[in-house]
Structure 1
Amino acid sequence: MSIDTFRPFETNLDQDQALDMLREAVAGADDGELFLERRKSEVISFDDGRIKTASFDASEGFGLRAVRGETAGYAHSTTIDEHALKRAVSTARLAVGDGGGTLADGPAGTNTRLYSDEDPMLQATFPAKIDLLKEIDAFARALDPRVVQVSATVAASLQEVVILRPEGTLVTDVRPMSRLNISVIVEENGRRESGGTGGGGRAGLIGLIGRDHWEPVAREALRIALVNLDAEPAPAGVMDVVLGPGWPGILLHEAIGHGLEGDFNRKGSSAFAGLMGQQIAAKGVTVLDDGTIPDRRGSITVDDEGTPSGKNTLIEDGVLVGYMQDRQNARLMGVAPTGNGRRESYAHAPMPRMTNTYMLSGEAAPESLVADLKDGIYAVGFGGGQVDITNGKFVFSCTEAYRVKNGVVGAPVKGATLIGDGATALKHIRGIGNDLALDPGIGNCGKAGQWVPVGVGQPSLLIGGLTVGGAAA
């Protein structure tokens, strides 16, 4: 029987022969797999009245891994054939040495499918996509005479994977992705400001390219730009902050989520290492990583080791109850894998990664959180950020924020950055809104040079004592 009899794609490998070589690679090892991938993607960008980018990429290859203890041997190739696989076996076996390991049990199977396997790129013709972007450009410019530049991008991809495991299990997954982004630049009295938004997920383009979807997206991009046009310099100092729902969960993802990945905790390099079962956050704080939400950007039917995706509670009512695990770290820590073994492509080994990470709602009305803010910042949009995993210290820039005094939302502020550390911020959460929202599907996460799509979410939060960097007050 050959792998080409299995979806999602054909190869020149015979399955039985590939399985024999995989077993040779992992003889005496603790774990391993053969990961085969085919990926294609399309990106079309319309910028400043013309097509800026129109690209189509296709790639395929395999990665072979043999794991023993804390060591992993990994080899990959863009050629999927017997000769390339034999060379990969020799390389991967270098990590196994004389062997002596006991091969771990394979992951349990699943019949669950969280998204369609339809190719989103085929749901509209190339000319139709160009016409769509031109229509968006014209619409956004007509909304306000201050609009001087419009950028719109439509992107779609399809990733097909086959995972062959030493016990003979063959796992397949077909992963679609689509996205639409719109940004505008406005100018008034010589001052220029920008605003942008968008979204998507593991679904087709149909839902994104309809006018009922993209028109509100264009209006929102313009609204953000106009808010920034009126923004004043941000204050500086230690103050209370209210975070809006949805995308501001990126702060939760970076400042806390990475610190709850298994590898950092096994190695003791996380700010949360050794704190399992302890109160690490304010009462009422419950954080999940959930890769099982249908059609979401961060969702995966199975992870890149073949483990079914999970809905994993990380923090429950302020208590640390779980880490995100791939197979290797789970085995070394004596716990079960959680379906978080992810990789960017066949050229990368898997590691513990987030999927959709979010905080559950509390009971407070969002407006009451703002009303409790005596002198602080109401931040509803975020751009880039940085975090140090070892101590949880973070710096995030706000793309939309407002000054609040005595519970009254005042002028928008520009140039605000939020500075703090995740462990302290968790304990200083003083209010949790009842308005949990997930982001619109725009997140990518980087770790050790690998990028994967993710989702974030949270309700409105009142956090005490964050440092706000900006202009002098």
Structure 2
Amino acid sequence: MSLPTSLPPLPASLPDSMRDLDLAACQAVLEAALHGADDGEIYFETRESESLVFDDGRLKHSTYGADQGFGFRVVAGETVGFANAAELSVGAVRRAADAAVLAKQGKAVNLSLSASLATSPARSNARHYGEHDPIGSMAFGDKIALLEAINDYARSRHPGVVQVSASVAADQRHITILRAGGEVYHDYRPLVRLSIGVSVEQDGHRESASAGGGGRIALDLLSDPQYWQAQVDEALRQALVSLEAVPAPTGEMDIVLGPGWPGVLLHEAVGHGLEGDFNRKGTSAFSGKMGQQVAAKGVTVVDDGTILDARGSLNMDDEGTPTHATTLIEDGVLVGYMHDRLSARQMGVAPTGNGRRQSYAHQPLPRMTNTFMTGGQDKLADMLSSTKRGLYAVNFGGGQVDITNGKFVFQCTEAYLIEDGRVTAPVKGASLIGDGPAVMRQVEMIGDDFRFDPGVGTCGKAGQSLPVGIGQPSLKIRGLTVGGTGA
């Protein structure tokens, strides 16, 4: 394969450390390393991050970090050679290539050309977020003033408030991917998050709750008083509800899930099972079920990395593939999986733009972006009124899932009893127990009130943590097991 005589011009916004790097020399190293391989790339990344934490009426932590480096990957069959370094130099790239090419050992190499090398991703000019500076868009003093204002407002809202914590976090990354044939891909990724925690005390009993939001936006958009005051009020509301909660009952009952963040149950119990690597290996509860009815009629699940300014959105994934909307379950039928380039090639399908990595020090894996169930026609009021005895789950905390069988346990942070079609007492200590595939078949009603979470989702897999989006309408699910401490 002949080497390109020149590379495309670099974006003006690219950091100096990347502009000073001899990409043409790096490209030559890559071409040699990929000779006889099936796929591979050099993934360059520069990152800046900042976080301020305000607690107990004062600024407790202020951190700033900067990092840069690259990951060099060579794929031969199912074998992956990967090396990374926190150094941007041609010498470091050459040393990484020496390690990564070991993936080709034992593979019969066509010495005339890299005949099996996968085609580079098609390009897209679509942009799903702006190129604003999430760190510099607000002065440092203004960020402290914002956190002080949040603290003062929260304490003024109720005499029982005993503690307020608030934090702002911002992250910006420049991504450059080199692929065979002189293909170069660039992306700039901003990300911000506002988090607010409130603790209230009454008669010696204390409860806490949190709220917040974020996305691939400028931090000053979160500083609008109308926005952050609503987040404070929401955290306070949840904490006050918890003060009145009674122990949750146990047993099998119908469940009504609220819209938005409760989609975390869908994300964990179903979403991971639809990622391509688990299905390629046959370890998912959904393996081998393509084209089969795996959920109730009306259930449609989509992963979409193109939603404007959303936390999980990407202009391209971490292999250079443009993101798009991928339908996974349509009207209850399994129609697709989420793929990176490796799982797509081995399953004989096209990549879906879901190859994601935590940083340059990690390999890409099939990962979710913004995953959600689409809305239906039912009313939340009808779901509640049609439930004789059940649980109305509005907010969730953490959970555990076994991908191989879909079994899960999720803790409810805000839930209410449903008795004779009416929402009654708030409960505490409730957990939902079941398995994802069964839950999807037990969906009875799908609400017309779809919404996304406020932009706070983080997903873990194989030791890698990534920002994601979650969404769903209200749902009624029959016969789910509730764990609790009450009768």
Q: So what's the TM-score if we normalise by structure 2?
A: 0.96
Is the Cα contact below 8 Å between 1:325 and 1:340 reproduced in 2? Answer: yes
Q: Distance in 1 between matches of 2:132 and 2:377?
A: 40
Structure 2 residue aligned with 1:36: 44
Q: Distance in 2 between matches of 1:316 and 1:34?
A: 36
Q: Does 1:212 align with 2:226?
A: yes
Is the Cα contact below 8 Å between 2:7 and 2:184 reproduced in 1? Answer: no
Alignment partner of 2:14 out of 8, 18, 27:
8
Q: Quick one: which amino acid aligns to residue 14 of structure 1? A: D
Q: Distance in 2 between matches of 1:8 and 1:212?
A: 35
Superposition deviation, residue 259 in structure 1: 0.1
Residues 290-301 of structure 1 aligned to structure 2 (within 5 Å): 290-301=304-315
Structure 2 residue aligned with 1:199: 213
Is the Cα contact below 8 Å between 2:8 and 2:184 reproduced in 1? Answer: no
Q: Distance in 2 between matches of 1:72 and 1:252?
A: 31
Judged with a 3 Å threshold, the aligned counterparts in structure 2 of structure 1 residues 99 and 119 are, in CA distance, closer, same or farther, namely farther
Q: Does 1:352 align with 2:366?
A: yes
Superposition deviation, residue 114 in structure 1: 0.7
Q: Quick one: which amino acid aligns to residue 287 of structure 1? A: V
Superposition deviation, residue 310 in structure 1: 1.1
Gaps in structure 2 of 5+ consecutive residues: 1-5, 110-114
Q: Quick one: which amino acid aligns to residue 249 of structure 1? A: G
Structure 2 residue aligned with 1:81: 89
Alignment partner of 2:187 out of 173, 187, 195:
173
Q: Does 1:276 align with 2:290?
A: yes
Q: Distance in 2 between matches of 1:53 and 1:371?
A: 48
Q: Quick one: which amino acid aligns to residue 455 of structure 2? A: G
Judged with a 3 Å threshold, the aligned counterparts in structure 2 of structure 1 residues 41 and 3 are, in CA distance, closer, same or farther, namely farther
Is the Cα contact below 8 Å between 1:140 and 1:147 reproduced in 2? Answer: yes
SS in 2 for 1:253: helix
Moved more, 14-23 or 260-269: 14-23
Moved more, 300-309 or 201-210: 201-210
Is the Cα contact below 8 Å between 1:305 and 1:342 reproduced in 2? Answer: yes
SS in 2 for 1:120: coil
Alignment partner of 1:362 out of 373, 376, 388:
376
Structure 2 residue aligned with 1:395: 409
Alignment partner of 1:250 out of 242, 247, 264:
264
SS in 2 for 1:116: coil
Alignment partner of 1:325 out of 339, 342, 363:
339
Gaps in structure 1 of 5+ consecutive residues: none
Q: Does 1:373 align with 2:387?
A: yes
SS in 2 for 1:24: helix
Structure 2 residue aligned with 1:410: 424
SS in 1 for 2:468: strand
Is the Cα contact below 8 Å between 1:8 and 1:162 reproduced in 2? Answer: no
Q: Distance in 2 between matches of 1:4 and 1:76?
A: 25
Superposition deviation, residue 9 in structure 1: 2.5
Moved more, 142-151 or 159-168: 159-168
Is the Cα contact below 8 Å between 1:3 and 1:15 reproduced in 2? Answer: no
Is the Cα contact below 8 Å between 1:228 and 1:400 reproduced in 2? Answer: yes
Alignment partner of 1:232 out of 226, 246, 256:
246
Superposition deviation, residue 179 in structure 1: 1.0
Q: Distance in 1 between matches of 2:298 and 2:364?
A: 33
Q: Does 1:147 align with 2:153?
A: no
The alignment-based identity, stated in percent, is 56
Is the Cα contact below 8 Å between 1:40 and 1:57 reproduced in 2? Answer: yes
Q: Distance in 2 between matches of 1:331 and 1:310?
A: 18
Q: Distance in 2 between matches of 1:422 and 1:95?
A: 36
